[in-house]
Amino acid sequence: MTPRFQAPRGTRDLLPGDLGRWQWAEAQARGVLERYGYGEIRTPLFEDFELFARTSGESSDVVQKEMYRFKDLGDRDLALRPEFTAGVMRAYLERGLGGRTRIHRLWSAGPVFRYGRPQKGRYRQFSQINCELVGSPAPGADVEMITLFVDLYEAWGFRDLTVVLNSVGQPASRRAYGERLRAWLAPAHERLSADSQQRLVVNPLRVLDTKDPGDLALFHELGDVPRMLDAIDEADRAHWEAVLAGLDAVGIRYEVDHGLVRGLDYYTRTAFEVHDRSLGAQSALGGGGRYDGLIAELGGPPTPGVGFAIGLDRAMLVLEERGTAAPVPPAGIYLAAMEATHAAALALARELRRQLVVELDVEARGFGAQMKAAGKSGARLLVILGEEEWKRGEVVVKDLASGTQETLARPGLAEVLGARLAQAPPPTGGGAKGTEKP
RNA sequence: GUGGGUGUAGCUCAGCUGGCAGAGCACCUGACUGUGGCUCAGGGGGUCGUGGGUUCAAGCCCCAUCAUCCACCCCA
CA–C1' span, A368 to B42, in Å?
A: 18
Residue A40, pLDDT > 60, answer yes
Residue bearing the bigger pLDDT, A240 or A361: A240
The whole-number pLDDT of residue A203 equals 77
Alpha-carbon gap, residue A183 to A6, rounded angstroms: 51
Lowest-pLDDT range of A20-29, A136-145, A173-182, A352-361: A173-182
Which residue spans within A299-380 are E strands per DSSP? Answer: 305-311, 332-337, 357-360
As a whole number, mean pLDDT of residues A100-124 equals 92
Closest residue by C-alpha to C1' distance, nucleotide B37: A434
Report the candidate in A94, A63, A92 with the shortest Cα–Cα distance to residue A80. A63
Residue bearing the bigger pLDDT, A322 or A311: A311
A206 Cβ within 7 A of any nucleic strand B atom: yes
A85 Cβ within 7 A of any nucleic strand B atom: no
As a whole number, mean pLDDT of residues A375-382 equals 87
Q: Is the torsion defined by CA of A307, A309, A310, A312 positive or negative?
A: positive
CA–C1' span, A116 to B75, in Å?
A: 9
A438 Cβ within 7 A of any nucleic strand B atom: yes
3-state class (DSSP) for residue A231: coil
A161 Cβ within 7 A of any nucleic strand B atom: no
Residue type, A60: S
Q: Are A56 and A86 in contact (CB under 8 A)?
A: yes
CA–C1' span, A2 to B14, in Å?
A: 21
Q: Are A62 and A53 in contact (CB under 8 A)?
A: no
> A55: which residues sit within 8 A by CB, 6+ positions away?
A85, A86, A89, A264, A266, A294, A297, A298
The whole-number pLDDT of residue A385 equals 93
Q: Classify the complex by whether its ipTM is higher than 0.90, answering yes or no.
A: no
State the pLDDT confidence band at A113, using cuts at 50, 70 and 90: very high
The whole-number pLDDT of residue A197 equals 83
Q: Are A58 and A105 in contact (CB under 8 A)?
A: no
CA–C1' span, A365 to B42, in Å?
A: 20
Helices (H), A189-341: 194-202, 213-222, 234-250, 294-297, 312-322
A218-250, pLDDT tens digit by residue? 888 888 888 889 989 999 999 999 999 999 999
A195 Cβ within 7 A of any nucleic strand B atom: yes
Question: Which chain B positions have some atom within 7 A of a protein CB?
Answer: 1-3, 9-10, 27, 29-38, 46-47, 49-50, 66-76
CA–C1' span, A18 to B61, in Å?
A: 41
Q: Give how far Cα A395 sits from Cα of A333, A368, A388, A392, Å.
A: 13, 18, 9, 9
Residue A214, pLDDT > 60, answer yes
CA–C1' span, A79 to B66, in Å?
A: 26
Q: Is the torsion defined by CA of A290, A107, A125, A279 positive or negative?
A: positive
Alpha-carbon gap, residue A416 to A406, rounded angstroms: 12
Buried b (16+ CB within 10 A) or exposed e, A400-431: bbeeeeeebeeeebbeebeebbeeeeeeeebe
A99 Cβ within 7 A of any nucleic strand B atom: no
A48 Cβ within 7 A of any nucleic strand B atom: no
Report the candidate in A333, A349, A331, A347 with the shortest Cα–Cα distance to residue A422. A331
Judging by DSSP bridges, how do beta strands A254-256 and A163-167 pair with one another? Answer: parallel
Query: What is the Cα A222 distance to its own chain's centre?
Result: 40
A129-176, pLDDT tens digit by residue? 999 999 999 999 999 999 999 999 999 988 878 899 999 998 888 888
Residue A371, pLDDT > 80, answer yes
Closest residue by C-alpha to C1' distance, nucleotide B66: A9
Highest mean pLDDT among A87-96, A197-206, A366-375: A87-96
Alpha-carbon gap, residue A386 to A404, rounded angstroms: 17
A387 Cβ within 7 A of any nucleic strand B atom: yes
Reported as type and span, the H/E element at residue A178 is helix A171-185
Alpha-carbon gap, residue A316 to A327, rounded angstroms: 13
Alpha-carbon gap, residue A292 to A169, rounded angstroms: 11
A163 Cβ within 7 A of any nucleic strand B atom: no
Alpha-carbon gap, residue A168 to A291, rounded angstroms: 10
CA–C1' span, A357 to B37, in Å?
A: 21
Alpha-carbon gap, residue A305 to A268, rounded angstroms: 10
Please, what are the domains in chain A? Answer: 16-170+232-322 (3.30.930.10), 332-422 (3.40.50.800)
Alpha-carbon gap, residue A359 to A333, rounded angstroms: 6
State the pLDDT confidence band at A402, using cuts at 50, 70 and 90: confident
A61 Cβ within 7 A of any nucleic strand B atom: yes
Judging by DSSP bridges, how do beta strands A284-290 and A305-311 pair with one another? Answer: antiparallel
Report the candidate in A297, A272, A295, A300 with the shortest Cα–Cα distance to residue A284. A272
How far is the first Cα of chain A from the last one, in angstroms, to the nearest whole number?
41
Count CB-CB contacts under 10 A for residue A112: 22
Judging by DSSP bridges, how do beta strands A332-337 and A381-385 pair with one another? Answer: parallel
